[in-house]
């Protein structure tokens, strides 16, 4: 459907929009777009990368939408009152959501691998994409994060891969319910936990998604995912888990500072695998990825060997640098499960943690308040320090019923060292001021790519 069409992306710099635009441009479509960040001069390197791919960029003032022949694709963050959306209505251009467009491309593919779950989707997608690429299967990959294996000086924002092979590997989003649009051949369900929706809603969405697939790979080490697996057709199910009964399981985990090894066990056979990314959660991710590859026809030994070359994703437990004995780590953690996994991985090695968690909105704070507080109370060490600036806000209307200050007060009441510092730059400066040799500063948050720039600036500041 994309060949010969003209697409205009409103919010083209978004983590879900940019890779989709890359795929369309790579397949020969005419692609243009606009973005608030472009207009405000933020993250210029991202837009330079898009322009280098032949994508025309316009101010978000309606000037780029001039024809009814254009298909206007809007991100979830774009309000109907944005000039581009008004221009689309004026000229009579067809409009699509990001999810509708992605689902149409995905569903038209021969081999469709959809990755679902409230945590780990991007990593599992990247792992599967790397396995297929390393084995010469030339996949198309749609990811919400930059895949280090494919990033280079010429293409620093490699969150998509455009291939000629049969496989289309994509993470699918449950937060807006759009997971219902996808018809996977192989479905992956890594975990189910509270994030944007209630558990009841998530169970229904994930269950319906899995029911469409020829094979569903489920991490039964996750209690909610296991409960869903119990309702599925066993003949269409592949189970994975760490140290538990499953079709594909991991045993004898050996953690390292920035890596982890394990035995991959299936049908009585055992292979030793070493991942170049750390943490028990990444072993779960690897099991899901290897399982999906096997379900799609990749021999187990080939998949296990290939995944050892996976380099990880930007902003997923990414070691940014070290200065004066203080390490800075950039991480996408933004819900209780993700943050807990990162803290567990960090606490496997010595050193105080100085955390800055920037919430990705006021709505998620309201939904996850109790779970966030309980997680921080349990996972923070006695010497650790947690700093929360105000949530990221990039325009629009929002209800501010629960704030960063509320979360901090609750965590303090639980006996942990938590501080509310409203301005992000001030929060970062406070962490730098208190850091000493052996400490690890960790920046956490979603929906704000400038956190990576801040992490780099903090390494520089620590050197001064």
- Please tell me what DSSP assigns to residue 147: B
How many residues are listed for the chain in this entry? 464
Please report the pLDDT score of residue 449 as a whole number: 78
CA-wise closest residue to 102 among 172, 174, 167:
172
Rounded CA-CA distance 344/384 in Å is: 13
329 DSSP assignment? E
Provide the pLDDT for residue 1: 47
pTM given for the model: 0.84
The token pair at 9 is: 């992306």
Q: What CA–CA distance (Å, rounded) separates 237 from 434?
A: 50
* CA–CA distance, 20 with 160 (Å, rounded to integer): 7
Profile the chain (464 residues) by mean pLDDT over runs of 10 residues. Answer: 80 93 95 94 90 96 96 86 96 94 96 92 96 98 94 89 96 85 96 73 89 96 92 95 96 92 95 95 96 98 98 90 94 86 89 94 84 95 96 67 93 96 96 96 88 93 89
Q: What pLDDT does 366 receive?
A: 85
Alpha-carbon distance 462 to 35, whole Å? 33
- The C-alpha atoms of residue 347 and residue 230 are separated, in whole angstroms, by 33
CB atoms within 10 A of CB 378: 12
pLDDT at 334: 81
Question: Phi and psi for 346 in degrees, rounded to 5?
Answer: -65, -40
């Amino acid at each position: 459907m994309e060949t010969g069409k003209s697409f205009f992306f409103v919010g083209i710099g978004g983590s879900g929009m940019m890779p989709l635009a890359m795929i369309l441009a790579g397949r020969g479509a005419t692609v243009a777009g606009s973005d608030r960040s472009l207009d405000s001069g933020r993250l210029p390197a991202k837009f330079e990368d898009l322009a280098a791919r032949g994508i025309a960029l316009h101010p978000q003032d309606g000037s780029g939408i001039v024809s009814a022949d254009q298909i206007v694709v809007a991100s979830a963050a774009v309000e109907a009152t944005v000039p581009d959306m008004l221009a689309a209505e004026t000229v009579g251009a067809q409009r699509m959501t990001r999810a509708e467009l992605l689902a149409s491309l995905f569903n038209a593919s021969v081999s469709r691998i959809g990755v679902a779950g409230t945590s780990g989707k991007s990593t599992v997608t990247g792992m599967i994409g790397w396995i297929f690429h390393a084995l010469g299967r030339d996949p198309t990959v749609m990811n919400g994060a930059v895949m280090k294996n494919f990033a280079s000086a010429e293409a620093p924002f490699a969150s998509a891969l455009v291939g000629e092979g049969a496989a289309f590997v994509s993470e699918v989003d449950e937060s807006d319910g759009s997971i219902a649009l996808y018809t996977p051949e192989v479905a992956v369900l890594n975990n189910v936990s509270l994030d944007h929706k209630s558990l009841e809603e998530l169970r229904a969405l994930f269950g319906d998604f899995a029911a469409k697939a020829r094979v569903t790979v489920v991490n039964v080490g996750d209690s909610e995912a296991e409960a869903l697996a119990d309702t599925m057709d066993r003949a269409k199910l592949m189970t994975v888990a760490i140290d538990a009964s499953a079709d594909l399981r991991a045993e004898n985990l050996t953690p390292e500072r920035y890596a982890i090894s394990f035995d991959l066990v299936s049908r009585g056979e055992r292979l030793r695998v070493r991942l170049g990314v750390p943490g028990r959660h990444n072993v779960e991710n690897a099991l899901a990825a290897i399982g999906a590859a096997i379900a799609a026809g990749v021999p187990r030994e080939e998949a296990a060997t290939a995944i050892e070359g996976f380099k990880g994703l930007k902003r997923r437990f990414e070691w940014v640098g070290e200065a004066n004995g203080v390490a800075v780590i950039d991480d996408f953690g933004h819900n209780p499960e993700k943050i807990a996994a990162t803290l567990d991985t960090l606490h496997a090695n010595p050193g105080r943690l100085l955390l800055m968690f920037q919430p990705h909105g006021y709505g998620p704070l309201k939904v996850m308040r109790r779970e966030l507080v309980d997680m921080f109370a349990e996972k923070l060490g006695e010497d650790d320090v947690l700093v929360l600036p105000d949530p990221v806000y990039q325009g629009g209307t929002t209800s501010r019923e629960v704030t960063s200050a509320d979360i901090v007060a609750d965590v303090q009441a639980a006996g942990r060292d938590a501080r509310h510092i409203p301005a992000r730059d001030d929060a970062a400066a406070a962490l730098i001021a208190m850091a000493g040799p052996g400490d690890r500063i960790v920046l956490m948050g979603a929906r704000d790519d400038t956190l990576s720039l801040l992490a780099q600036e903090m390494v520089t500041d620590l050197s001064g």
